[in-house]
Amino acid sequence: MEQKTARLTVLIDPTKKKAFEELCATQDVTPSQVVRKMIRDYLEQHGVSYANQPQHPSSEA
């Protein structure tokens, strides 16, 4: 897992949330684990290298 974490809030209808949580439970994974994997896969699919991204963007004065 990543060293530092940030919170991402997602709005989803309650029926999909319940179905997602139940499916995750049957697969013995947490919803957070699945979402993190989806994000990693999406970044990779689009050629985005997040490992080298600066943690705090520098501001130009």
Sign of CA pseudo-dihedral 30, 31, 37, 39: negative
Query: What are the domain boundaries of the chain?
Result: 16-46
Give this prediction's pTM: 0.76
Element (DSSP H or E) covering residue 21? helix 14-26
The predicted structure's pLDDT at residue 27: 99
The predicted structure's pLDDT at residue 21: 99
The predicted structure's pLDDT at residue 61: 45
Supply 58's token pair. Answer: 């520098």
Q: Report how far residue 56's alpha carbon sits from residue 47's, in angstroms, rounded to the nearest whole number.
A: 21
Going residue by residue through the chain, which has 61 residues, state the pLDDT in tens, using 9 for 90 and above. 667 889 999 999 999 999 999 999 999 999 999 999 999 999 999 999 987 655 555 555 4
Residue 10: name the closest of 30, 33, 35 by CA.
35
